[in-house]
């Protein structure tokens, strides 16, 4: 039964005789491994579309460009130039390596040369900021343009800061520095702000969810400070391909934006293969590891003479894959290495060396984490292999986009891991083909985030009268801050009065500052290795929990709830832990409702009480439940927004013989809906939660030790429902942040789509009775029932009761008529 | 407590934020000012309709209640609404005509050009949210030591205070301070910038006594604070001195309608600082 890795020699038959292109390799792989390839498609290449260098470009800049080999522009660069010269805010949405940076470099340098106008660049990471400055300096030196560009980040020494404030034409920083260091000290930057003409924000697709909502508020504060200095800078934003780049750019800066979405950069055909490792244990739905498959594909590609980039999800996986490839290609120490690793945690010098070696073409294979996903320049590549789904369709395309610069066909292969999300996506090739990647959502008016930034804004400049902050009148928020004692009201003016520096207490990466830090005590040292949101702490940091960081398991030894610390040590275990989560929801307010098949879908505000009585130990890969542990933590309460589905009692009674079956069906449906919804709103799985209960909070359902739905009362104790009691099971998907972060509204908009996708997810799952990739954990009893059924096709009763069937029955009732 | 406040407090607690302390709200509840009606709205949803309702509601509300005190006496004359001014002349040390400021790496300077200054501020957090509520400045006039102090009793008077102080600074003034280069001068620069006024201190010579004191006595004294320097060098022992760290609370209490007692003590503290500045300067100049 084992279809474990083929032997080297059979694989090597596929090695291409002559160095070739992605198309040929894609064809050979498709032929040989047809069973593993769940999707194959081609994104056709494009001829380049060019435009001459604009005539209004300063001659010195044009000369500098020519000396760097740039004789003409791509059409999108010319469009960006025209729009910026017309005074519009611009959003450039083109693929990786399409020359995005020239779109902002040209107007910025021109303005700096003409009237010493200043520009602020914001990048999400320091490494990108440094790359950008290096690029600017090269261009500047090429033409002796006299434009000064500096990075300004946490590493900038104190004595250099003054010079940068006064003399920097282009200051390259990140949103956190703008928030904590620049805006609260804006008077020191007065000269800079008075001459600020452009604000460039690159990689705006990374500003979504909580982080994006914070950044939108930082931009509100930036505009407010700019207004004080009498300037209204133009924004130039750049984004990788997402579903709603134009809308997202406008949401971030709250102004009309001209979107440029057609890239003029030439590309070759892009061949894409979705690859699912072969099933090695059909009962458990267990597949061969993604690692073995990735290794095989990369080996083939490199042997065929193709420059190959492998993306791995963790640093340790980078090292493992690098070792495997080096074992094959770098066994002769006298020769220069052909394989390199690239990841965060290396010194900048090492990374620069790797980049140079890649550009020079002396490296044949590079293994990287997401560090290479954003704009770092490494030259031409032929093949990209993703070891596991990177978490979003947009990121998948961005990584694939690393290959194919040479205007010849390139190949991208996504190798699915055993993770449920991977398994879902690899079975839905249309998700990638449909060319509608995820939408980036932000919720700048999330009450806690808004309050934090009005607080910071009041520190920066007093509020006056009915001043607006973003789309809200600030007054009620100012009153709250006044009652808190940090603001003082005098007439129509609200002034900061407290002896504190509010920006320090506001992290752009979380909703409030109740975060837990994870402290590693391995080897007697105390190192902070991670931060966990307060709302996730109870389900991830209980004592005994296995906490995975970069796929290294750590065990929580002690949880200091009041001190917001979890002490962990590195460990070697073959299981992970899963909190048993008794969540009760009560609907407080319904914002919107609609029919959903025989039932109804709603969107509104809910009150959530979450109790974690213990946790399960689950073995890796097989997902067997191998033990339990107790948890003793206070209940969590949450007011948030949710979307939920309900079926009337009469319908359920008609379709299900027993109520137990309906409950099991709802649990399975919840699991599938949660999986599908997480993908739909580009959320982290923990930011969106699921629950099954009654509509009125009287009872809820959790999976018992057999994986069956167990009804529990408000006290968390198992309960039975009286035969005449109302029975309206409800499946909820709710936002895991107090006040919500805007996930549930788009989910309500896409409610029909979600149900349809959940149905197809379960129907297409390869498991027999149910598995974590569809309706939830493996249920041994149901496995046996399903086996009995396949052994004896007459035994219909056995299959009729599997969680898969029950979940599909619930979902079928909710499918729009 | 306003409904929005109650709502936010609830959300913040749920997000793991430590409990909000609201001294004003507590005080008001104690005075029976808080209304029971406020709480009926506290659990309403965040729908846009309710949000607008809250805003209208908040709009109609009065500002926060004050802990009224009868002791509201801030010394001095009122130059303009909210700006108090005091001036005293003391017979203090006898300065030489030309002061040798070589110890501070400044050329010899006529004593009448010296402008000693010290600010009292709302805190040490720095950035644009910290302000000076009192500026003290002292100079030698006809051999006597003139101490002038400006105190604001309202936020709105800040610009007037900054203008008045600017008028005291001459083109050839030499500033004297203790840690003023790093603290008072940049803070005032920020305040002038926010008030859209020219910064009068820009480009002036500045003798910051902290640095020469450190060079001489670091390691010999327990610290190099001004209070230590004045005790060691001038034998000054302060009585009933309000610690500088309590200055922000003193002003805030007054601003919110509370007693002025501690604010007067801040002024006394500030005046002593100015005298000690002159004393330490002359002492160090005489040592060369």
Torsion of CA A315, A318, A322, A325, to 10 degrees: 160
Closest chain A residue to B6, measured at CA: A480
Residue that is last in its domain, among A401, A433, A465: A433
Q: Tell me if B124 and A499 make a contact (CB, 8 A cut-off).
A: yes
Look at residues A536, A714, A545 and name the one whose alpha carbon lies nearest to residue A615.
A545
Q: pLDDT at residue A272 above 50?
A: yes
Q: pLDDT at residue B64 above 60?
A: no
Write out pLDDT tens, residues A213-262: 999 999 999 999 999 999 999 999 998 777 789 999 999 999 999 999 99
Predicted local confidence at residue B201, as pLDDT: 97
Predicted local confidence at residue A299, as pLDDT: 94
Same domain (yes/no): A356, A461: no
Distance CA A177, CA A398 (A): 26
Residues of the domain holding A200: 50-260
Distance CA A553, CA A561 (A): 21
Q: How far is B194 from chain A (nearest CA, A)?
A: 7
Q: Are strands A270-275 and A37-43 parallel, antiparallel or unpaired?
A: antiparallel
Same domain (yes/no): A361, A406: yes
* DSSP single-letter state for residue A179: I
Same domain (yes/no): A225, A251: yes
Same domain (yes/no): A251, A273: no
Please tell me which of A167-181, A620-634, B66-80 the model is most confident about, judged by mean pLDDT.
A167-181
> Do residues B84 and B153 make contact, with C-beta atoms less than 8 angstroms apart?
yes
A370 Cβ partners below 8 Å, 6+ apart? Answer: A311, A390, A395
Q: Tell me if A184 and B128 make a contact (CB, 8 A cut-off).
A: yes
Give the Cβ contact number of residue A465 at 10 Å. Answer: 11
CA quadruple B136, B139, B141, B143: dihedral sign = positive
Residues of B in contact with A189 (CB under 8 A): none
> Domain spanning B77-287: which CATH class is it, in words?
alpha beta
Q: Tell me if B2 and A498 make a contact (CB, 8 A cut-off).
A: no
Q: Is residue A362 part of a domain?
A: yes
Mean pLDDT of chain A: 84
Tell me which H or E stretch contains A578.
strand A575-596
Q: Is residue A438 part of a domain?
A: no
Distance CA B101, CA B282 (A): 9
Please tell me which of A176-185, A659-668, B3-12, B88-97 the model is most confident about, judged by mean pLDDT.
A176-185
Closest chain B residue to A516, measured at CA: B16
Q: How confident is the model at residue A493 (pLDDT cuts 50, 70, 90)?
A: very high
Q: Tell me if B127 and A495 make a contact (CB, 8 A cut-off).
A: no
> Do residues B135 and B201 make contact, with C-beta atoms less than 8 angstroms apart?
no
Write out pLDDT tens, residues A500-523: 999 988 888 766 656 788 888 988
> Do residues A266 and A260 make contact, with C-beta atoms less than 8 angstroms apart?
no
Tell me which H or E stretch contains A47.
none
Q: How confident is the model at residue A578 (pLDDT cuts 50, 70, 90)?
A: confident
Residues of B in contact with A488 (CB under 8 A): 155, 252, 255-256
Q: What long-range pairs does A521-525 form, CB within 8 A, spacing at least 24?
A: A521/A557, A521/A567, A521/A568, A521/A569, A522/A568, A522/A569, A522/A570
Better-predicted residue by pLDDT, A332 or A284:
A332
Q: Tell me if A488 and B128 make a contact (CB, 8 A cut-off).
A: no
In whole angstroms, how far apart are CA A539 and each of A25, A82, A210, A708?
45, 52, 20, 21
A488 contacts chain B (CB < 8 A):
yes
Q: pLDDT at residue A665 above 50?
A: yes
Q: Tell me if B122 and A499 make a contact (CB, 8 A cut-off).
A: yes
Predicted local confidence at residue B93, as pLDDT: 84
Same domain (yes/no): A488, A593: no
Same domain (yes/no): A181, A240: yes
Number of residues that make up chain A: 817
* DSSP single-letter state for residue A267: B
For A42-51, A379-388, A759-768, which range has the lowest pLDDT when averaged over its residues?
A759-768
Distance CA A785, CA A27 (A): 41
Give the Cβ contact number of residue A655 at 10 Å. Answer: 16
Same domain (yes/no): A67, A180: yes
Q: What are A642's two structure tokens?
A: 């949710």
For A408-422, A599-613, B36-50, which range has the lowest pLDDT when averaged over its residues?
B36-50
Predicted local confidence at residue A261, as pLDDT: 92
Better-predicted residue by pLDDT, A399 or B268:
B268
Q: Tell me if A513 and B17 make a contact (CB, 8 A cut-off).
A: yes
Distance CA A628, CA A704 (A): 12
Give the Cβ contact number of residue A362 at 10 Å. Answer: 12
Q: What CATH number is associated with residue A158?
A: 3.40.50.300
Burial A290-318 (b: 16+ CB within 10 A, else e): bbbbbbbbbbbbbbbebbbbbbbbbbebb
Q: Tell me if A488 and B255 make a contact (CB, 8 A cut-off).
A: yes
Q: How far is A522 from chain B (nearest CA, A)?
A: 27
Residue A7, classified by CB atoms within 10 Å of its CB into exposed (0-12), middle (13-18) or buried (19+), is exposed
Write out pLDDT tens, residues A456-479: 999 999 999 889 999 889 998 998
Helix ranges restricted to H, A195-289: 209-228, 245-253
Q: How far is A565 from chain B (nearest CA, A)?
A: 12
Residues of A in contact with B248 (CB under 8 A): 499
Residues of A in contact with B64 (CB under 8 A): 482-483, 489
Q: Is residue A791 part of a domain?
A: yes
Tell how many helices (H) and how many strands (E) occur in chain B.
10, 9
> Do residues A637 and A586 make contact, with C-beta atoms less than 8 angstroms apart?
no
Same domain (yes/no): A15, A62: no
φ, ψ at B254 (rounded to 5°): -65, -45
Q: pLDDT at residue A401 above 70?
A: yes
Same domain (yes/no): A74, A203: yes
Predicted local confidence at residue A526, as pLDDT: 82
| Domain residue extents for chain B | 3-60, 77-287
Look-up of token digits 């449909």: A434
Write out pLDDT tens, residues B124-140: 888 999 999 999 999 99
Burial A507-523 (b: 16+ CB within 10 A, else e): bbebbbbbbbebbbeee
Q: Tell me if A501 and B193 make a contact (CB, 8 A cut-off).
A: no
A637 contacts chain B (CB < 8 A):
yes
Q: Tell me if B11 and A190 make a contact (CB, 8 A cut-off).
A: no
Q: Tell me if B45 and A638 make a contact (CB, 8 A cut-off).
A: no
For A81-90, A651-660, B33-42, which range has the lowest pLDDT when averaged over its residues?
B33-42
Q: Tell me if A447 and B129 make a contact (CB, 8 A cut-off).
A: no
Residue that is last in its domain, among A215, A233, A260: A260
φ, ψ at B88 (rounded to 5°): -135, 145
Q: Tell me if B12 and A738 make a contact (CB, 8 A cut-off).
A: yes
Write out pLDDT tens, residues A757-815: 899 888 877 777 777 678 876 555 555 555 555 555 555 555 567 888 899 999 999 98
- Residues 711-750 of chain A whose Cβ lies under 8 A from any Cβ of chain B: 737-740
Closest chain A residue to B158, measured at CA: A495
Q: pLDDT at residue A697 above 50?
A: yes
Residues of B in contact with A739 (CB under 8 A): 11, 46
Predicted local confidence at residue B287, as pLDDT: 72
Q: Tell me if A480 and B2 make a contact (CB, 8 A cut-off).
A: yes
- Residues 8-27 of chain A whose Cβ lies under 8 A from any Cβ of chain B: none
Average pLDDT for residues A526-543, to the nearest whole number? 79
Distance CA A227, CA A500 (A): 24
Distance CA B46, CA B60 (A): 20
Same domain (yes/no): A88, A187: yes
Predicted local confidence at residue A283, as pLDDT: 61
Look-up of token digits 């006597």: B144
Predicted local confidence at residue A149, as pLDDT: 94
Better-predicted residue by pLDDT, A659 or A717:
A659
- A-B contacts at Cβ under 8 angstroms: 154
Q: How far is A214 from chain B (nearest CA, A)?
A: 16
Q: Tell me if B16 and A473 make a contact (CB, 8 A cut-off).
A: no
Closest chain A residue to B19, measured at CA: A514
Domain count, chain A: 5
3-state secondary structure of A33: coil
**Alpha carbons within 13 A on the beta-carbon side of A110:** 18
Ramachandran assignment for A524, one of left (phi > 0), alpha (psi -120 to 50 degrees), beta (any other): left
Q: Which residue from A488, A589, A636 is facing B47, i.e. has the nearest CB?
A: A589
CA quadruple A45, A51, A52, A53: dihedral sign = negative
Residue that is last in its domain, among A230, A260, A290: A260
Mutation site for B-interface testing, chosen from A479, A531, A590 by largest number of B Cβ within 10 Å: A479
Q: pLDDT at residue A490 above 80?
A: yes
**CA-based radius of gyration for chain A:** 28
Better-predicted residue by pLDDT, A171 or B62:
A171
Q: Which residue from B58, B155, B255 is facing A479, i.e. has the nearest CB?
A: B58
Q: pLDDT at residue A352 above 90?
A: no
Q: Are strands A270-275 and A50-52 parallel, antiparallel or unpaired?
A: unpaired
Look-up of token digits 């420059």: A307
Write out pLDDT tens, residues B137-179: 999 999 899 999 999 999 999 999 999 999 999 999 999 999 9
Predicted local confidence at residue A346, as pLDDT: 65
For A158-162, A359-363, A752-756, B166-170, which range has the lowest pLDDT when averaged over its residues?
A359-363
Q: How far is B36 from chain A (nearest CA, A)?
A: 17
Torsion of CA A247, A251, A252, A253, to 10 degrees: 100
> Do residues A195 and A229 make contact, with C-beta atoms less than 8 angstroms apart?
no
> Do residues A150 and A171 make contact, with C-beta atoms less than 8 angstroms apart?
yes
In whole angstroms, how far apart are CA A219 and each of A120, A180, A223, A457?
12, 13, 6, 11
Look at residues A591, A585, A689 and name the one whose alpha carbon lies nearest to residue A637.
A585
Closest chain A residue to B131, measured at CA: A497
Q: Tell me if A479 and B4 make a contact (CB, 8 A cut-off).
A: yes
A31 Cβ partners below 8 Å, 6+ apart? Answer: none
> Do residues B169 and B204 make contact, with C-beta atoms less than 8 angstroms apart?
yes
Same domain (yes/no): A186, A164: yes
Same domain (yes/no): A240, A222: yes
């Amino acid at each position: 039964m084992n279809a474990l890795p083929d032997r080297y020699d059979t694989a090597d038959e596929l090695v291409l005789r002559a160095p070739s292109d992605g198309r040929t390799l894609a064809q050979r792989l498709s032929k040989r491994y047809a069973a593993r390839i769940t999707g194959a498609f081609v994104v056709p290449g494009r001829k380049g579309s060019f435009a001459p260098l604009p005539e209004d470009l300063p001659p010195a800049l044009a000369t500098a460009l020519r000396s760097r080999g740039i004789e003409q522009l791509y059409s999108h660069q010319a469009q960006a130039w025209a729009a910026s010269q017309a005074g519009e805010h611009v959003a450039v949405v083109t693929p990786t390596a399409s020359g995005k940076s020239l779109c902002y470099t040209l107007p910025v340098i021109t303005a700096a040369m003409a009237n010493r106008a200043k520009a602020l660049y914001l990048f999400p990471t320091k490494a990108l900021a440094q790359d950008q400055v290096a690029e600017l300096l090269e261009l500047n030196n090429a033409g002796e343009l006299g434009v000064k560009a500096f990075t300004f980040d946490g590493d900038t020494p104190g004595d250099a800061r003054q010079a940068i404030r006064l003399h920097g034409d282009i200051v390259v920083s990140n949103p956190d520095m703008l928030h904590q260091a620049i805006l609260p000290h804006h008077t020191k930057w007065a000269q800079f702000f008075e001459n600020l003409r452009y604000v460039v924000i690159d990689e705006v697709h990374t500003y979504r969810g909580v982080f994006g909502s914070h950044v939108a508020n930082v931009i509100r504060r930036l505009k407010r400070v700019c207004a004080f200095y009498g300037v209204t800078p133009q924004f130039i934003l750049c984004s990788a391909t997402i579903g709603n780049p134009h809308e997202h750019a406008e949401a971030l800066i709250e102004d009309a934006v001209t979107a440029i979405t057609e890239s003029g950069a030439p590309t070759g055909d892009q061949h894409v293969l979705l690859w699912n490792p072969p099933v090695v244990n059909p009962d458990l739905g267990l597949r061969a590891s993604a690692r073995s498959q990735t290794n095989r594909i990369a080996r083939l590609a490199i042997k065929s003479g193709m420059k190959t980039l492998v993306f791995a999800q963790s640093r340790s996986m980078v090292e493992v894959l690098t070792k495997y490839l080096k074992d094959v290609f770098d066994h002769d120490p006298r020769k220069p290495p052909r394989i390199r690793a690239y990841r965060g945690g290396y010194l900048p010098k090492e990374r620069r060396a790797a980049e140079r070696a890649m550009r020079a073409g002396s490296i044949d294979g590079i293994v990287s984490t997401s560090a290479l996903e954003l704009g770092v320049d490494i030259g031409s590549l032929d093949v990209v292999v993703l070891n596991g789904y990177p978490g979003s369709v947009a990121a998948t395309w961005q990584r694939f986009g690393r290959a194919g610069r040479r205007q010849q066909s390139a190949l991208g292969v996504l190798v699915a891991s055993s993770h449920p999300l991977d398994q879902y996506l690899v079975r839905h090739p249309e998700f990638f083909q449909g060319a509608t990647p995820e939408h980036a959502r932000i919720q700048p008016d999330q009450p806690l985030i808004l309050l934090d930034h009005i607080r910071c804004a009041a520190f920066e400049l007093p509020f006056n009268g009915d001043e607006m902050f973003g789309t809200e009148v600030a007054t009620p928020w100012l009153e709250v801050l006044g009652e808190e004692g940090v603001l003082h009201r005098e007439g129509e003016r609200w002034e900061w009065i407290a002896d504190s520096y509010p920006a320090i207490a506001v992290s752009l990466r979380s909703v409030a500052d109740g975060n837990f830090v994870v402290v590693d005590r391995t080897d007697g040292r105390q190192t902070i290795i991670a931060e966990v949101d307060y709302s996730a702490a109870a389900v991830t940091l209980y004592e005994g929990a296995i906490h995975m960081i970069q796929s290294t398991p750590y065990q929580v030894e002690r949880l200091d709830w009041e001190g917001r610390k979890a002490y962990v040590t590195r460990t070697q275990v073959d299981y992970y832990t899963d909190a048993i989560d008794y969540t009760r929801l009560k609907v407080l307010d319904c914002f919107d409702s609609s029919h959903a098949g025989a039932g109804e879908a709603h969107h509104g505000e809910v009150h959530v009480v979450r109790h974690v009585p213990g946790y399960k130990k689950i073995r890796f890969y097989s997902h067997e439940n191998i033990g339990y542990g107790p948890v003793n933590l206070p209940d969590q309460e949450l007011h948030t927004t949710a979307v939920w589905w309900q079926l009337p009692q009469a319908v359920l009674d008609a379709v299900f013989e027993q109520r137990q079956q309906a409950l099991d069906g709802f649990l399975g449906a919840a699991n599938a809906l949660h999986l599908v919804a997480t993908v739909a709103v580009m959320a982290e799985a923990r930011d969106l939660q699921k629950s099954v209960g009654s509509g009125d909070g009287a009872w809820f359902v959790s999976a018992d030790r057999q994986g069956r739905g167990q009804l529990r009362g408000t006290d968390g104790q198992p309960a039975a429902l009286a035969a005449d009691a109302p029975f309206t099971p409800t499946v909820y998907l709710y936002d895991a942040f107090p006040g919500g972060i805007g996930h549930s509204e788009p989910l309500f908009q896409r409610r029909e789509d979600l149900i349809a996708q959940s149905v197809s997810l379960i129907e297409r799952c390869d498991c027999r009775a149910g598995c974590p990739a569809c309706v939830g954990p493996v249920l041994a009893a149901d496995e046996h029932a399903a086996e009995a059924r396949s052994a004896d096709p007459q035994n219909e009763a056995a299959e009729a009761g599997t969680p898969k069937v029950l979940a599909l029955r619930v979902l079928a009732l909710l499918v729009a008529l | 407590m306003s409904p929005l406040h109650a709502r936010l407090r609830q959300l913040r607690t749920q997000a793991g934020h430590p409990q909000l302390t609201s001294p004003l709200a507590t005080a008001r509840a104690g005075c029976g000012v808080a209304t029971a009606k406020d709480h009926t709205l506290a659990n309403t949803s965040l729908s846009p309709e309710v949000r607008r309702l809250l805003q209208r509601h908040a709009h109609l509300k009065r500002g926060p209640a004050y802990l009224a005190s009868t002791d509201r006496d801030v010394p001095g004359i009122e130059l303009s609404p909210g700006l108090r001014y005091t001036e005293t002349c003391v017979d203090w040390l006898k300065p030489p005509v030309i002061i040798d400021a070589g110890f501070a790496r400044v050329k010899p300077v006529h004593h009448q050009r010296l402008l000693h200054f010290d600010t009292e501020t709302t805190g040490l957090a720095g950035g644009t949210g910290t302000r000076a509520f009192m500026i003290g400045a002292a100079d030698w006039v006809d051999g006597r030591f003139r101490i002038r102090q400006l105190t604001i009793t309202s936020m709105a008077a800040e610009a007037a205070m900054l203008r008045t102080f600017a008028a005291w600074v001459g083109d050839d003034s030499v500033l004297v301070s203790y840690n003023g280069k790093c603290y008072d001068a940049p803070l005032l620069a920020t305040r002038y910038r926010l008030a859209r006024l020219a910064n009068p201190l820009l480009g002036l010579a500045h003798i910051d006594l902290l640095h020469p004191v450190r060079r001489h006595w670091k390691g010999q004294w327990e610290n190099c604070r001004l209070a230590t320097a004045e005790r060691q060098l001038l034998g000054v022992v302060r009585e009933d001195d309000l610690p500088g760290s309590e200055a922000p609370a003193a002003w805030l209490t007054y601003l919110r309608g509370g007693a002025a007692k501690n604010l007067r003590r801040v002024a006394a503290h500030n005046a002593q600082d100015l005298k000690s500045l002159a004393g330490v300067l002359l002492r160090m100049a005489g040592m060369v």
